[in-house]
Each structure stands twice: as C-alpha cells, then as structure tokens.
Amino acid sequence: MAITYHESTRVFTLQTEHTTYQMKVGRFNILKHLYYGKKVEGSSMDYLLWYPDVGFSGNPYEADTDKCFSLDIQPQEFPSAGVGDYREGCIEAVNPDGSRAADFRYVSHSVSRGAYGIKGMPAAYDEGEESETLLICLRDDATGLELELKYGVFEKEDMITRAAVLKNTTSGTVELEKLFGVCLELPFGEWEVVHFHGRHAMERMPERIPLGHGTFCISSKRGTSSHQHNPSLILCAPETTEDAGDCYGMLLVYSGNFTARAEVDQMGQTRAVMGINPEQFRFRLDAGECFETPQAILGFSGEGFTELSHRFHRMIGRHICRGKYKYARRPILINNWEATYFDFNEEKILRIAGQAAQLGIEMLVLDDGWFGKRDTDTSGLGDWYVNREKLPEGLEGLSEKIHALGMKFGLWFEPEMVSEDSDLYRKHADWALRIPGRKPNRSRYQLVLDMSRQDVRDYLFERMSDLVSRARIDYVKWDMNRSMSDIYSAKLPRERQGEVFHRCMLGVYELLERLTTAFPDLMIEGCSGGGGRFDAGMLYYSPQIWCSDDTDAVERLQIQYGTSFFYPVGTVGSHVSASPNHQTGRETPFETRGVVAMAGSFGYELDLNLLPDEEKELVKAQVADYKKYYELIHQGDYYRLNAPGDGRDFVAWAFVSEDKRQVLLNLVVTHVRANAKAMFVRLKGLDEGKTYRLPDGRLLSGGALMYAGLSIPARPGEYRPIQMELVAQ
C-alpha cells in the first residue's frame, strides 16, 4: 500500500518509490504536517515537532494553561482562518452569521484505489488504477462546515496531488472568498524560490531568489494563467543544482486566475500555498452546495532540478495529457500565419500546401482570417462562417484539396472572443463581458465572451462541431488573444458577480470536454498569444501548446529552457520561421532554426515557396530527422546541459532514450569570438558502462562522456548549430 494509517500513532504515511509524505492527527484533532522528502521507512516523524512558548502567538482554548501549543507556529495540512494562525492561510469565508473564522479538525478518512476526479475541472487520471487516493474529512464544529482534503499518490511517478472540497452543511449561505487546495510546510532550513515570469513573446523566464522573512507572491488576475507568471513554483536549498540538492515543485492544474505564495514566518519556518487568486473572487454557497479547488501536483527531488523535471514530465505525459495524440506521432505541420497573415486566398494556401507536401510536411493549418469579415484584427471574431471571397468553395473545398495532396488539414479558432464589429455582437451584445454603464477596456479590438453562459457555449459548440465534421478538420489551434477585464455577466445576479472569472474557466473546460468527446481523433493545440495559457489545465485537453509567439530561434532557447522545468518537450509547439525573424529581425541559419524547433512538436511557419532550393533540401532533411528522432524526443529524458546566459558561448541540451542506448546532443552557438576556445560539454543520463559511437566513428564510454566530457571545436559564423546522434554499441 502506498497509503497507510497507524491507529495507535494516528500517523498517515504516503509513500512513492523515492519519497515520503507524512502527517498526523495531533492534539485536539488538528491535522499536522510532519515531513515531505526523501523516502524514509519505519519512523514516525512527529519527533520533529517542537513546542516553544512564543509571545503573541495564542493558544487554542482546549490547550488550557499550555502556552507552548500554538497554531501560529505549528506545521499544518490545512491552515484555517481567524483562530490564531496569523500566517498564510488556505480559507477565507463569510459564515451565515457574518463571522469569518474557520477551524477545521479531523473527523474521518478513507483510502481507495485509483485517482480522484474533480467536478468540471482537469485532474491527474490513472487508467490502470495503480495510484491510490486518500480522502480526509475535517469539520468546523462551530459552523458545521465540512472540508474534504484529497490526496493522490502516484507511486511510480513519485508524485502527490492535492485538492480540497468545501461543503456547506449549514442551513444558511456561506460566501467563500478564498480556498486553496494545497499547503506545503517546510519547518526547517533556508530556502530559495524559482519562479517563471515573463511577458508576451518572452514567457517563462526563470528567476531564482532567496526567501526572506515575509511573503513572496506570484499571481495572475488576467483570466488566464498568463504570460507574466506561470502557475508553478520551485522551493530549493541554496546549494541545489541541476544534479544535486533538495527541491520541491508545485504545479497548479488550472488555467485561470491563480496565486502562489511562500512565507517565511517569525520562527524561520516556510509555508507555501497555491490556488485560485482570491482577488475579484467571491463564491456563494447555499445550503448543501460544494466548492472544489483546482488540483495541485507536488514533487520532490533530492537529486536536483533535472530529476524534479523528469518526474513532472512523466506525470504530465502519462496522467494529464489524454487522447489519441498522447502517444501517437503528431503530424509535422505548416502554418500559414507568418507566411500570409490576413492576406490570403485559396490559391495562396494551396501553393503553400503543394510545396509543403513535396517536402514531406504532413499537415496544413489555416490560421486567422478565414471567417466572417476578417481582413484585419478589428472585426469578425465570433462569426464562425466561412469567408467565401477568400475561399469560394468553402472550407470543405479547401480541405478536400489539401487531403488530396496526402496532407491533413487544421484550422485556427478563437472561440472565447468576439469583435464589436461582428454580426454575433450586434445580435448578442449581452454575451460579452462588460460592466453596465462603463466603456469596456479594449485589447486587439475584441471583447471576451461570457463563457459561463450555456447559450454561449452551445453556439460555439454548434459552429465548431459543424465545421470540424463537414470540412474534415484534423486539428484545431485554440487561441485566446487578450487578458480579461470588465468582469460582469449579464446572466448572473449581483451576489454572484464574484464567481464570473471561475465560472468562465469552468465553461472553457466544459466546451473543450464536449469537443474532445465528440471528436476523439481531433488534435487540439492550445494557444493564448503563444504561451499565455501554458499550463497543466490546458494540457488535459490539448497535448501541445504553442509555446510562444516569438519564433526567433535564439529567443526560443531561453523560452524553451524555462518551459522545460515543468513541462515535457512534447507539449511545446515549436516551428521553423523566416529569417530575418518577424518578431526580432534577427538572422539565423536555417539549420539552427530546425535544431531549436526539434526541441518540441515540430512544424514550419513561413512561405516555403520563397525558399532557395538548398533550403528546401534542408526542409526535407529536417522532416526526415524529426521523424527518425520523434520517439527519442517525445519519450526520452530531456537534459539541460547548461543555462542560457551562464557565461558560456552556447546553449546545449540532450535527449536520452529510456534504455540509454540512443542520445541526441543539440547545441547552438550564441556568441562568436575571435580565436575562440573549444566548446566543452558534459553529457548526462548515459550508461557509464556502455560504449557510444559518435558520428565521426570515435567510440567513447558513457562515463567518459559524462565525467570527462566532450570537446567540440568552435565554428565560425553566427548562431551555428550542432546536432549529434550517439548510439550505444
């Protein structure tokens, strides 16, 4: 059993292959956190708890004269509110009598096989019921409110999931203002935090800083997980590196507003919490109603960041991503956006598709501009009807011609948006989120549809399903190109306006679930201006996400590096684009663009007809190489061999097969120097006892390649790549 409970000690122990998570029902039935870290057996870790008398830290009434027991210093599984713990808490609620206190104590628990689900939201699943679920029931005796804590133990993946359900078992109304499903306590040690900030076209930039006294916070209140902060966090020891040291990862399986906070308290203890952002959130629970939190995934590594990343990669790949393309090879695609933008017709698209087919590319994706009155980004969103001036034979005619070339056909949508200049908005202005009496904030000349409304979702499903079925659509690129604001639903009463953000997110999930259920072979790629909604919640519905609108290969080195800490390479949409690059104007070799794009789900974003013959031959070679290395890239282990900006003149990474017999080393020179030194790289993840053949015929042991390393002569010219396959003999 991965989950055990000892009645005599009242200790819960959650075991994975390499980690232990332990908690205890302590005095007064308070559920205490004891330990999370490297696997230990045969010991109760309650000896770690300490009970000093701390001034101005009060004591539960039951403690009587014991001034050494205080919630303000105790590590807990679910910190309550208003009852003496002044640190970051997990709940804020207005009770039926107007009070705001909540004090949850242990009542009961149950253990079952398989993974728990969350109503209306994505969660880690387990098809083989190899995982286990622990449900712990807590109760606030004063109000009667009940809380269920959910723990999922994925033993082979070394992962633990957390979520919570608040049940209004009172006879009145509870107004929930905050509910987090996860709290991680680190009572000892000094810690640093790694988070992933950014902006549009420059997402998931890692930043590592020491935690000091007070609270560190990242968040989004944009209606999406956002370009600015990813819903993920790493807490690590100061000495932690890629290959050594303790580190904890927290990843929220949610795509809307979130917050993640880490507090160092007066006693030097660290507490981290994560969940829906409480700003602009207020959820009304009438008697008998429940509220479920999004799931958070927790991981621990005592062997540094690389092992932590591998555990999250396996968890997401096996237990978050779903559908046909979870394992099936995804087609290599060509997207017309940077080739044509809005200026296209059927003839242009077919020219691009015809050339692509000749070069071995397997799918044409028609991007923005095929519908309504859509020649610029100022109109047409919401009118999901084909523009017959651009496509006289409609999508059906174009799709038939694309398929006749032996290619699949994909289509861009932005379902959650509406243009003010659209037939849909003129007919249903109340379907858009906007506050009565206020002019709305504009972004890209579009407003956000109220996805909490069933009629909105029904319209979108009808239009999308009609087009997908009649036009034989194989792939949908689901975009979302602005942050949400002016949050007000014409459908909800005044007292429920604080629910709009979350209800809209639930609506997006509901529409995605309907679509994937109706079309199980349809591949969906998520997108939000590139990486504005790159999170585990969206990966539940789309096995890959457009990583960034920045297609510059050199910039992508940084973006894809940061993304790799939590997300598997196979989830990263990455394309070869034109040079000079459309976002930066940078010129890079065609080979370099190919090597960088292969660190993801591979495709092209340019007009192939404009390429010289030698670059067309390179396309053929890249397509062949990607097919050859597909399983290695998507199923192998990914190793960051150095970090961008670490002082070296290159960035290197590698893929290693599960059996350690095949290795793909990739390197891009980022700074060319006169009289340059050789580039020195130590590989990782090899079998030190195996002998590997290099492309030049040399035979070197895995130990030599990992511990002594490989010296690669410098190459002249800017941004030159190296891609090298090593095969065990």
What is the pairing mode between strands 475-478 and 523-526?
Answer: parallel
Rg (CA), the chain: 27
The active-site residue out of 535, 552, 591, 605 is 535
Residue pair 681/712 in contact (Cβ under 8 Å)? The answer is yes
Measured at the alpha carbon of residue 269, what is the angle toward residues 76 and 18, in degrees to the nearest 5?
A: 70
Query: What letter does residue 441 receive in the DSSP assignment?
Result: P
Strands of 221-362 (E only): list them.
232-236, 247-253, 258-264, 270-276, 283-285, 290-292, 295-301, 333-335
The active-site residue out of 513, 615, 718, 725 is 615
Instruction: Produce one character per residue of 464-496: b if its CB has 16 or more CB atoms within 10 Å, e if not.
Output: bbebbeebebbbbbbbbbbbbbebbbeebeeee
Bridge partners for 259 per DSSP: 219, 275
Distance set, CA 84 to CA 24, 72, 96 (Å): 20, 6, 21
Cα-Cα-Cα-Cα dihedral sign, residues 469, 470, 474, 480: negative
Give the tokens for residue 483.
Answer: 């942050």
User: Is there a cis peptide before residue 580, judged by omega within 30 degrees of 0?
Assistant: yes
3-state helix, strand, coil in the chain (%, to 5): 25, 30, 45
Total residues belonging to the chain: 729
Residue pair 563/570 in contact (Cβ under 8 Å)? The answer is no
Bridge partners for 180 per DSSP: 275
Q: Which pairs with CB-CB distance under 8 Å and at least 24 residues apart come from 111-118? A: 111/1, 111/3, 111/5, 111/135, 115/152, 115/154, 115/161, 115/319, 116/150, 116/152, 116/161, 116/163, 118/163, 118/292, 118/293, 118/294, 118/295
**Residues contacting residue 530 through CB under 8 Å, at least 6 positions apart:** 200, 201, 203, 227, 546, 547, 548, 549, 550
Distance set, CA 39 to CA 19, 297, 506 (Å): 4, 18, 37
Q: What is the three-class DSSP state of 489?
A: coil
How many CB atoms neighbour CB 707 within 10 A?
A: 11
Using CA atoms in the order 526, 528, 532, 537, what is the torsion angle rounded to 10 degrees? -30
Give the tokens for residue 96.
Answer: 């039926």
Give the tokens for residue 722.
Answer: 């190296």
Half-sphere exposure at residue 25, Cβ-oriented, CA atoms within 13 angstroms: 18
Residue pair 638/309 in contact (Cβ under 8 Å)? The answer is yes
Within its chain, how far is the Cα of 486 from the centroid?
26
Measured at the alpha carbon of residue 493, what is the angle toward residues 488 and 495, in degrees to the nearest 5?
A: 90
615 a catalytic residue: yes
Give the tokens for residue 61.
Answer: 């009434």
CA distance linking residue 83 with residue 104, whole number of Å:
10
CA distance linking residue 113 with residue 239, whole number of Å:
38
Element at 514 (helix H, strand E): helix 500-518
3-state per-residue secondary structure call for 628-692: HHHHHHHHCEEEECCCCCCCCCEEEEEEECCCCCEEEEEEEECCCCCCCCCEEECCCCCCCCCEE
CA distance linking residue 159 with residue 180, whole number of Å:
19
Residue pair 387/368 in contact (Cβ under 8 Å)? The answer is no
CA distance linking residue 672 with residue 668, whole number of Å:
11
Within its chain, how far is the Cα of 576 from the centroid?
23
**Active site (catalytic) residues:** 535, 615
